[in-house]
Amino acid sequence: MVSQIPQTRIKHYYREANRCADRLARKGVELNESLVVYDNPPLDILNVVEADIRGACLDRLCPGFFALA
């Protein structure tokens, strides 16, 4: 299907790069409703939202990558 859309580019982002989206997606899997709109971030992801606002980083170890000692 992607080949039918002109000028399409697909990029992979590790979930750690967008922890808010990852947490919301996980939360969505558990919901019975088909659509939920939040006026404010849910309390259980508020710390992740605040960390994103502060620009906090999260290191990720990638398979096959070894740091030189």
Residue 68, in any domain of the structure: no
pTM above 0.85, yes or no: no
- The most confident of 6-10, 16-20, 52-56, by mean pLDDT: 6-10
Q: For the stretch 6-36, what's the b/e string if a residue is b when 16 or more beta carbons lie within 10 angstroms of its beta carbon?
A: eeeeeeeeeeeeebeebbbeeeeeeeeeeee
**Overall domain count for the chain:** 1
**In this model, does residue 8 exceed pLDDT 50?**
yes
Instruction: Give a yes or no: residue 2 inside a domain.
Output: no
Residue 29 domain flag: yes
Structural domain for 28, as ranges: 7-54
Residue 67 lies in a domain: no
Establish if 64 belongs to a structural domain.
Answer: no
40 or 69, greater pLDDT: 40
Q: List, for residues 17-47, the tens digit of each pLDDT value.
A: 678 888 888 888 888 988 888 898 888 888 8
Q: Is residue 46 part of a domain?
A: yes
